């Protein structure tokens, strides 16, 4: 028995070592750095205790970025997950051209985010962009979509939804295909309407996938900021600045690594809390087979 335990640990060791080296150690390093000021000109960074966190409380751009991120998450996650489910149900049904449709839905996912953002940048271009061509032909006045504080965030959210939905669809599609057809047949024999079959059988069976997709969607909404860099650089007036983008600016434009570390700790804390919350609360409602 003892021997087996040792072998088990040895088998886990390579993965654990990598995880410790590239995840846990940097996390500890970040927390440690967040209590220090930024080192300048090769001098060691002095200890400042909680000062970086006090600065954060007074940092308007931080609060704006945080709220932007909250709206961004609330806006993108439910829509992209619902859309993914609907698309998966659709391309799972037996119909002509469904391979073509699957490819079409999945295409946004394979494109790099930078390319996607450049395409959408031209969609949103005032006057001759695709969106403007449609709205002006319907008689609406021209609008500067990315250059107006009230619409810029919504515009970048649409890009994220368009990009993520296809990715999540693949997981739903895989889960749908693993549902035994006998269940559908049994439901049909019992005379259950399709809506009931969907609500009482399919959706509960998809719950593990939903949990997985949700966790990924939450992480994505905090992690993916490439399109912000290309499309708005956080503007206008920080209207599209997300938390990670703010961290990047502080860390690699301002070179204030101490403060950037403190911001990163906050981001880590938020993500950890969300992930734990999802696993603890949703786990009760998930039925694994």
Partner 1 sequence: MTTRPHVLRALAAGLACLAASAAAETEISFYYPVAVGGPITKIVDQMAADFEKENPGIKVKPVYAGTYQETVVKAITAHKAGTPPATAVILSTDMFTLIDEDAIVPFDTFAKSAEDKKWMASFYPAFMANSRTGGKTWGIPFQRSTIVLYWNKELFKEAGLDPDKGPATWKEMLADAEKLTKRDASGNVTRWGVQIPSSGFPYWLFQGLTTTNGVELMNEAGNETYFDKPAVVEALQYWVDLGRKHKVMAPGVIEWGTTPKDFFEKKIAMMWTTTGNLTNVKKNAKFDFGVAMLPANKRRGSPTGGGNFYIFKKATKEQQEASFKFAKWMTTPERAAQWGMDTGYVAVRPDAWQTPKMQAYVKDFPVAAVARDQLQYSVAELSTHENQRVTKALNDGLQAALTGAKAPAQAMKDAQAEASRILRAYRH
- Residues near partner 1, by CB under 8 A: 40-42, 61, 121-122, 125-128, 136, 139, 141-142, 144, 146-149, 232-233, 235-238, 249, 252-256
147 versus 208: smaller Cβ distance to partner 1: 147
3-state secondary structure of 47: strand
For residue 259, the minimal CB distance to partner 1 (Å) is 10
67 versus 252: smaller Cβ distance to partner 1: 252
For residue 192, the minimal CB distance to partner 1 (Å) is 54
How far apart are the C-alpha atoms of 35 and 32, rounded to whole Å?
Answer: 6
75 versus 234: smaller Cβ distance to partner 1: 234
How far apart are the C-alpha atoms of 55 and 258, rounded to whole Å?
Answer: 11
Contact predicate 48/221, CB 8 Å: no
67 versus 255: smaller Cβ distance to partner 1: 255
Contact predicate 120/131, CB 8 Å: no
For residue 72, the minimal CB distance to partner 1 (Å) is 19
Terminal Cα-to-Cα distance of the chain (whole angstroms): 29
How far apart are the C-alpha atoms of 14 and 64, rounded to whole Å?
Answer: 41
How far apart are the C-alpha atoms of 75 and 104, rounded to whole Å?
Answer: 23
14 versus 41: smaller Cβ distance to partner 1: 41
How far apart are the C-alpha atoms of 152 and 154, rounded to whole Å?
Answer: 6
For residue 247, the minimal CB distance to partner 1 (Å) is 14
For residue 146, the minimal CB distance to partner 1 (Å) is 7
């Amino acid at each position: 028995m003892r021997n087996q335990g040792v072998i088990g640990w040895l088998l886990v060791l390579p993965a654990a070592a990598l995880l410790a080296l590239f995840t846990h150690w940097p996390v500890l390093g970040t927390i440690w750095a967040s209590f220090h000021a930024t080192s300048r000109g090769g001098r060691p960074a002095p200890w400042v205790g909680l000062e970086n966190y006090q600065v954060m409380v007074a940092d308007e751009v931080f609060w704006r970025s945080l709220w932007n991120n909250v709206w961004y998450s609330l806006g993108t996650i439910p829509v992209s997950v619902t859309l993914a489910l609907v698309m998966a149900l659709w391309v799972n049904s037996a119909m002509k051209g469904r391979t073509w449709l699957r490819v079409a839905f999945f295409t946004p996912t394979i494109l790099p985010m930078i390319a996607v953002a450049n395409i959408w940048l031209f969609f949103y271009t005032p006057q001759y962009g695709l969106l403007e061509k449609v709205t002006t032909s319907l008689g609406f006045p021209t609008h500067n979509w990315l250059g107006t504080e009230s619409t810029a965030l919504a515009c970048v959210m649409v890009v994220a939804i368009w990009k993520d939905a296809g990715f999540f669809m693949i997981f739903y599609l895989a889960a749908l295909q693993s549902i035994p057809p006998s269940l559908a047949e049994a439901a049909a024999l019992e005379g259950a309407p399709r809506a009931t079959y969907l609500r009482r059988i399919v959706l509960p069976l998809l719950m593990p996938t939903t949990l997985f997709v949700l966790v990924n969607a939450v992480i994505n909404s905090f992690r993916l900021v490439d399109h912000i860099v290309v499309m708005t650089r956080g503007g206008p007036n920080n209207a599209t600045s997300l938390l990670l983008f703010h961290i990047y600016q502080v860390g690699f434009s301002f070179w204030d690594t101490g403060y950037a570390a403190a911001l990163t700790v906050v981001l880590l804390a938020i993500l950890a809390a969300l992930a734990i919350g999802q696993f603890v609360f949703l786990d009760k409602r998930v039925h694994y087979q």
